[in-house]
Amino acid sequence: MSDTPSYSKLELDDRDVAWLTLERPDVHNAFDDSMIAELNAHLERLHEAARHGDVRAVVLGSEGKSFSAGADLNWMKRMVEYDVDDNLADSRKLAALMHGLDTLPCPTLCRVQGAAFGGAVGLAACCDIVIASEKAKFCLSEVKIGLSPAVISPYVQRALGERQARRYALTAEVMDAPTALALGLAHRVVEPETLDDAVTEMLDTLLAGSPQAQRATKALLAEVAREPDSKATREHTCRVISELRVSAEGQEGLASFFEKRRPAWTQGTARNDSDTTATERRS
C-alpha cells in the first residue's frame, strides 16, 4: 500500500458518470504539483474511457466549503526558489491539466459549492457546464501577488468574453454567483441545499442525449470556434451530420423518435464488474 497521500479521487457510478473530486478540504482544495500530476493522470484515463464510450459524463467537484483556493501556499513558497526553466516545466503541467479537461470527449459538469480562486476559475471555465451554489465566489486573484492568470487565460476569456476578462483579470475583483451567471462563467445558480439536486437534474438531461452525438458535437463546436466560417468548416459540418445520420446511434435515434419510444442509450443498463473500465466504481 502506498504511503503517498492522495489529493483527489476518481469514481464511476452505475450510469457511467465519472466523479472527479478534489480532496484537500483542510487547505480549501488548493492545488500543488502533486495534485496537478494526479489530476493529469485521472484525465488521461478519462480521455481513453470517453473515446471508447465507457464514460458518459464527468462531474468535477470538491469536498469541503470551498471549491478550490487555487495555488497552494507551500507550493508557491517553493516556486520562489525556481528558475525560469523550473517554472516553465511547472506551468506546462498546469497547461496540460487545463487542456485535458477542456478537450474531454464527453460532457463535463463543474459543481462549485464555494470559493473558486485563481486557477480554479480556469477549471470551471474548461468545463462544458457550471452549476454554482449561491455561496460561490470567483476571483482571478493573480495580479494582487504580482502574477498573471496566464495559463488559464484562453479558457477564462472564452467564457467571459474579452471585455469582461480584461476587467476581472486586471482588477482581481471577486465575482459573486449571480455575477458569474450574468457573465457566462456559470450556467445555473441554486441555493446551497439544492446544489446536488441541480447536478443530478443536469446529468439526467445530459444522459438523455446520444453519447456518440455528444462526442461528435463537442468536437465539432471546438472546430467551428477555431474557424467559424470557412469552406473547410462548412464541409466539415456537412460531413459530421451525414455520418451521424447513417450511424447506428443516429438510426436508433431517428427510429425511436418516429416510434415514440425512448432510444436504447437511455435504458441505463449497468456495466458488469468484469468489464474493463478506466476508473474505480463510485459507491
Per-residue pLDDT, 73: 82
Task: Domain count for the chain, please give it.
Answer: 2
* DSSP letter for each residue of the chain: ---S---EEEEE-TTSEEEEEE--GGGTT-B-HHHHHHHHHHHHHHHHHHHTTS-SEEEEEESSS-SB-SB-HHHHHHHTT--HHHHHHHHHHHHHHHHHHHT-SS-EEEEE-SEEETHHHHHHHHSSEEEEETT-EEE--GGGGT---TTTHHHHHHHH-HHHHHHHHHH-PEEEHHHHHHHTS-SEEE-GGGHHHHHHHHHHHHHTS-HHHHHHHHHHHHHHHHSSS-HHHHHHHHHHHHHHHHSHHHHHHHHHHHTTS--GGGS-PPPPTTS--SSEEP-
Give the confidence band of 4 by pLDDT, cuts at 50, 70, 90. low
Distance CA 244, CA 250 (A): 5
Considering the domain architecture, whether residues 58 and 194 belong to the same structural domain is answered as yes
Whether residue 236 is predicted with pLDDT greater than 50 in this model: the reply is: yes
Per-residue pLDDT, 83: 87
Distance CA 151, CA 147 (A): 11
Whether residue 1 is predicted with pLDDT greater than 50 in this model: the reply is: no
pLDDT digits (tens, 9 = 90+) for 23-55: 999 999 999 999 999 999 999 999 999 999 999
Considering the domain architecture, whether residues 137 and 14 belong to the same structural domain is answered as yes
Q: Is residue 200 part of a domain?
A: yes
From 13-17, 95-99, 233-237, the region with the lowest mean pLDDT: 233-237
What is the mean predicted confidence (pLDDT) over 205-219? 94
Q: Is residue 276 part of a domain?
A: no
Give the confidence band of 3 by pLDDT, cuts at 50, 70, 90. low
Considering the domain architecture, whether residues 185 and 241 belong to the same structural domain is answered as no
pLDDT digits (tens, 9 = 90+) for 63-112: 999 999 998 888 887 877 888 888 889 899 999 999 999 999 999 999 99
Whether residue 214 is predicted with pLDDT greater than 80 in this model: the reply is: yes
pLDDT digits (tens, 9 = 90+) for 131-165: 999 999 999 999 998 889 999 999 999 999 999 99
Considering the domain architecture, whether residues 25 and 120 belong to the same structural domain is answered as yes
> Which residues are CB-neighbours of 10 under 8 A, at least 6 positions away?
18, 19, 20, 21, 42, 45, 46, 279, 280
Q: Is residue 105 part of a domain?
A: yes
Q: Is residue 26 part of a domain?
A: yes
229: left (phi over 0), alpha (psi -120 to 50) or beta: beta
Per-residue pLDDT, 248: 83
Tallying the residues shown for the chain, one arrives at: 283
pLDDT digits (tens, 9 = 90+) for 162-210: 999 999 999 999 999 999 999 999 999 999 999 999 999 999 999 999 9
Give the confidence band of 244 by pLDDT, cuts at 50, 70, 90. confident
Considering the domain architecture, whether residues 190 and 221 belong to the same structural domain is answered as no
Whether residue 231 is predicted with pLDDT greater than 90 in this model: the reply is: no
What is the mean predicted confidence (pLDDT) over 55-68? 97
pLDDT digits (tens, 9 = 90+) for 249-270: 878 877 888 888 888 988 753 3
> Which range of residues forms the domain containing residue 181?
8-206
Dihedrals φ, ψ of 210, to 5°? -70, 125
Beta strands at 280-281 and 188-190: parallel, antiparallel or unpaired: unpaired
Distance CA 153, CA 145 (A): 17
Q: Is residue 1 part of a domain?
A: no
- Domain with 62 in it: what CATH number? 3.90.226.10
